[in-house]
Structure 1
């Protein structure tokens, strides 16, 4: 039903972003799966790799950096430890705390998977020039800063 009294222009932006988000997720997860990883597994391994030597973080830090609940993080860590890609040990500074670290196999895998991920992202952005990418990033950053914070 047509509603000439309403401005429906936001639907053009939101609808395209919604479809684009779904398409990007599918395109990104293909690369993760090629390396035997799920999206959450990739996220945790990449976060540990970015931590630098000795490539470790607490489960709480991992949850904060990957924006998931601590319960979801526990499941991800269990899966990665079970596969030999990460270890979990007692903290040296907090008797009750735990530390999660990359194993050599986890580091090797995330290094290879991350390189493939970056090539994939470059492919996905291939239709945009460098100035267009910068403009899009700036607009999305501005918009995201205006949205309500989500925990």
Structure 2
């Protein structure tokens, strides 16, 4: 057996309890949660130099990857970010106050606004996206390229099952 991690200890404790728990599923879920928390911490630390939190970065990165003119309707942002319209509005307001995004009426739908990266937002996001990506490096270093491909395949299958 490889070295034990904190989840092995937790599972062993549950094994000795009087409860009948789905320990195989728990082993996967707890490890995914732990890896995600560790990764989110790395991202938060990396983004701190830009004064951004991960949620704000997600908005900016979504606008950046949409391509020029780096402008999207809030409904499109909501679908991409999987957050509520209220949560998005709060993020956009904070980013607008800092000069990273601007909002204007959608000429095709006067009831809706479009959110766009400003020149300042584009400059910050272009730097932040590189630092953010670098913060995730090393995550899969313990795996060979073949194992990485298999891990990606397993995680995709899991995500598709979850979201279907």
How high is the TM-score relative to the length of structure 1?
0.90
Unaligned runs of 5+ in 1: none
- 1:100-132 deviation line (CA, Å, top 9, x unaligned): 100011011111011111112123333322222
**Structure 2 unaligned runs (5+)?**
1-15
The answer as to whether partners of 2:39 and 2:136 remain within 8 angstroms in 1 is no
Aligned to 1:64: 79
Cα deviation, 1:74-116, whole Å, max 9, x if unaligned, reads: 0000011000000000111112211110001101111101111
Cα deviations across residues 22-55 of structure 1 (Å, max 9, x unaligned)? 1111111111112210111100000000111111
Greater shift after overlay, 27-36 or 66-75? 27-36
1:75 aligns with 2:86: no
Kindly report which structure 2 residues correspond to 1:75-94, keeping only aligned pairs within 5 A, or say none. 75-94=90-109
Match of 1:120 in 2: 135
**Structure 1 residue 59: Cα displacement:** 1.2
| Count of aligned residue pairs for this structure pair | 149
Q: 1: CA distance between counterparts of 2:82 and 2:20?
A: 39
Alpha-carbon offset, residue 18 of structure 1: 1.8
- Note the aligned Cα RMSD (angstroms): 1.8
